[in-house]
Chain A
Amino acid sequence: GQNIDQPTEMTATEGAIVQINCTYQTSGFNGLFWYQQHAGEAPTFLSYNVLDGLEEKGRFSSFLSRSKGYSYPLLKELQMKDSASYLCTMNSGGYQKVTFGIGTKLQVIP
């Protein structure tokens, strides 16, 4: 079967760095997405990791370890607008085999 595990809530301070951990189990794996969803809005794409390692894109980085079934986004210089849910999303085979995690609701406080 397929399973995604991520914390339901986190709090971090403006200007800080935060890491949101996600572990997954699946019989087939192509890659891992991260989506951001602000309250009352649609999810928006942040990143897609296929290979092990850290991929950096400005304030946002995403890490993947295929052998450990583990991923995290790293958000630097946190801003209030980063308060949102972050959805760990697994691609287990082709465009139609996508499984979303429950999401981690991140609250950024002053």
Chain B
Amino acid sequence: ETGVTQTPRHLVMGMTNKKSLKCEQHLGHNAMYWYKQSAKKPLELMFVYSLEERVENNSVPSRFSPECPNSSHLFLHLHTLQPEDSALYLCASSQTGQGSYEQYFGPGTRLTVT
């Protein structure tokens, strides 16, 4: 247990569906991240939030829409996805300011788009 939880753990959705991924951190951190992990590719940073403000958006298609209502919760809203969006989606949190900013990851959501 890293103190970061994600739901659901597995999700299968059609290309016309709308679904949301949820992440919650219990570590008192003030930054949260969404990553995509595909086979044989490095972790790809999608979005970063600090104190509920989005501070990084790495050219992610608009069919992915993040939401950070408070510093403990992060959502990723999905709509009209493509089969190539099938991947493991990882949420992470860290503290900003002084220090090493090491990230604590949730277990991930395994997404399959059919």
Contact = CB atoms under 8 A, between A and B. Distances in A.
B42 A91 contact: no
A73 interface: no
Contacts of A99: 42, 45
Given A44-B2, A96-B50, A102 B105 contact: no
A98 B42 contact: no
Interface in B82-114: 90, 94-96, 100-108
Given A95-B101, A96-B31, A96-B50, A41 B96 contact: no
Q: How large is the interface on A (under 10, 10 to 19, 20 to 34, 35 or more residues)?
A: 20 to 34
A44 B106 CA distance: 10
A50 B102 CA distance: 13
Contact of B45 (A43, A98, A103): A98
B50 A44 contact: no
Nearest to A50: B100
A4 B41 CA distance: 12
Interface of A: 4, 31, 33, 41-45, 48, 50, 87, 91, 94-96, 98-103
- For the complex of A and B, the 5 pairs showing the least CB-CB separation, nearest first, are A42-B105, A48-B100, A95-B101, A100-B43, A45-B102
26 contacts: A31-B100, A41-B107, A42-B2, A42-B4, A42-B90, A43-B90, A45-B102, A45-B103, A50-B100, A87-B43, A91-B101, A94-B96, A95-B31, A95-B48, A95-B50, A95-B94, A95-B95, A98-B45, A98-B101, A98-B103, A99-B42, A100-B42, A100-B45, A101-B42, A102-B40, A102-B41
Given A45-B102, A94-B101, 12 more contacts: A4-B42, A31-B100, A33-B100, A33-B102, A43-B90, A45-B103, A48-B102, A87-B43, A94-B96, A100-B42, A101-B42, A102-B40
